[in-house]
Chains A and B, each alone.
Chain A
């Protein structure tokens, strides 16, 4: 299994967010202070992470996004 969503870890304090590769080719970076789009995230994020640009763009797992399903806190949601 691979994913189109990875952790973005910014610095030594493990400050983190998520980077999603969208089908349009743009990257969406979600951090606690807000969302930014259309730019390359500074990090590849997370353990073992392939650089985000090498990943498949998100297809919402065919309609049932696994990342949203597995998120224990409901931070990741699919919004129509």
Chain B
């Protein structure tokens, strides 16, 4: 199989035992959607299982083939969050195409997947840390600053539906309370790192095809101005005045991720302050803040505080508004310091890239960023043509 490792890692958190099962087409798993595969694995291992997965094209040269998914289930049905940045790709490089977390750990700790190994690391002291502190701890403990870490914060630990899983310090992917599902399993973070290599059917052809496609896209799209290129309401002076740089996810030529500096001069290229600012790609949260009259600098600090707490910012801001007080960082911090079971706002971020859920699922399920592909124009058949040189066959 091309672009696949052929392995699914299964970690029984109750016993701490890890096992593997083969991933191949003869298992009857249609690889055109990581979402469908994750659902099939949840059916096999239990609906409360949490499945981290990659799309068949994740890590290919197809533009913006960066996406993985996290599937969490429970009494309310299954929920899917995208895994963006470099996290989806890194997950594939661990040697597992999918990772299933089943059962509940007897104590708190984090899941550590790397180079074909999967384990639960007990870390009861981690609970006292924010999501940022947890990322730092995992990287420091495992001795590699490049480990991709999806962390819960105190809100996830408390199993609150308004929690969000934070990926490498930043929030925006989890609008479905995945962190609460991990919290219920005593999992404080999930970390992955790998040096795997993926085989391609025709590497040179796939490379050339993908470059052609990328150039076609860029001819139409032009140069990105970051998140404001996707959401014109964010093109405000106070926002653009703080922009330090744009950050692409793996393979993305038209980045939406926009880093704003609030603690030092935005035009200074070097980063001197310990926490100079915040990386924005949560358009829903920023829009909510701006709609409430919050300026860009304060919005940065609020989103940063929400990320550290592992709380979904649109919900937090809506809750603050309901208190009838002036909304500022102080009020938000007070709310965040006391995790409470407030009702999720139902905010969507990447999920709103396409007007319909089916196209979103099809795009994300392949491992492609829905935000980029909605902009560039997603067409399953056309993508399938470009995937041929990678997979040695069209997409099914």
Please determine whether A11 and B196 come into contact, CB atoms closer than 8 angstroms: no
Q: Closest residue of chain A to B254, judged by CB?
A: A72
Binary flags per residue of B197-228, CB closer than 8 Å to A gives 1, else 0: 10010010001001100100010000100000
Contacts of A2 in B (CB 8 A): 197
B17 at the interface (CB under 8 A from A): no
Number of interface residues of B (CB under 8 A): 40
Please determine whether B93 and A14 come into contact, CB atoms closer than 8 angstroms: no
Contact of A1 with B93 at beta-carbon distance under 8 Å, contacts A46-B146, A48-B196, A72-B253 already known: no
Q: Closest residue of chain B to A54, judged by CB?
A: B195
Within 8 Å by CB of B211, from A14, A33, A70, lies A70
A44 to B144, CA, bound (A): 9
B86 at the interface (CB under 8 A from A): yes
Please determine whether B132 and A12 come into contact, CB atoms closer than 8 angstroms: yes
Q: How would you classify the secondary structure of chain A's contact residues: helix, strand, loop or mixed? A: loop
Please determine whether A11 and B218 come into contact, CB atoms closer than 8 angstroms: no
Within 8 Å by CB of A14, from B89, B218, B247, lies B247
Within 8 Å by CB of B259, from A14, A33, A44, A48, lies A14
Q: Closest residue of chain A to B148, judged by CB?
A: A47
Binary flags per residue of A25-61, CB closer than 8 Å to B gives 1, else 0: 0000001110000000001111111100000000000
Interface positions, chain A 8-27, Cβ under 8 Å from B, are: 9-16
Number of interface residues of A (CB under 8 A): 26
Contact of A43 with B279 at beta-carbon distance under 8 Å, contacts A11-B271, A48-B90, A66-B207 already known: no
A16 to B246, CA, bound (A): 11
Interface positions, chain B 160-191, Cβ under 8 Å from A, are: 168-169
Contact of A13 with B269 at beta-carbon distance under 8 Å, contacts A49-B146, A70-B207, A72-B214 already known: no
Binary flags per residue of B371-388, CB closer than 8 Å to A gives 1, else 0: 000000000000000000
Within 8 Å by CB of B271, from A1, A15, A50, lies A15
Please determine whether A73 and B223 come into contact, CB atoms closer than 8 angstroms: yes
Please determine whether A13 and B259 come into contact, CB atoms closer than 8 angstroms: yes
Most B-side CB within 10 Å, residue of A1, A13, A66: A13
Contacts of A72 in B (CB 8 A): 214, 218, 253-254
Please determine whether B276 and A9 come into contact, CB atoms closer than 8 angstroms: no
Please determine whether A1 and B203 come into contact, CB atoms closer than 8 angstroms: yes
Please determine whether B271 and A45 come into contact, CB atoms closer than 8 angstroms: no
* Distance from A13 Cβ to chain B, minimum over Cβ atoms (Å): 5
B341 at the interface (CB under 8 A from A): no
Most A-side CB within 10 Å, residue of B145, B168, B269, B279: B145
4 residue pairs, one from A and one from B, having the closest CB atoms: A72-B253, A48-B93, A47-B90, A47-B86
Q: Beyond the given A1-B207, A32-B245, please list 17 additional residue pairs across the A-B interface where CB-CB is below 8 A.
A: A1-B200, A9-B145, A9-B146, A10-B271, A14-B168, A14-B279, A43-B146, A44-B144, A46-B86, A47-B86, A49-B146, A49-B195, A50-B195, A69-B211, A70-B207, A70-B210, A70-B211
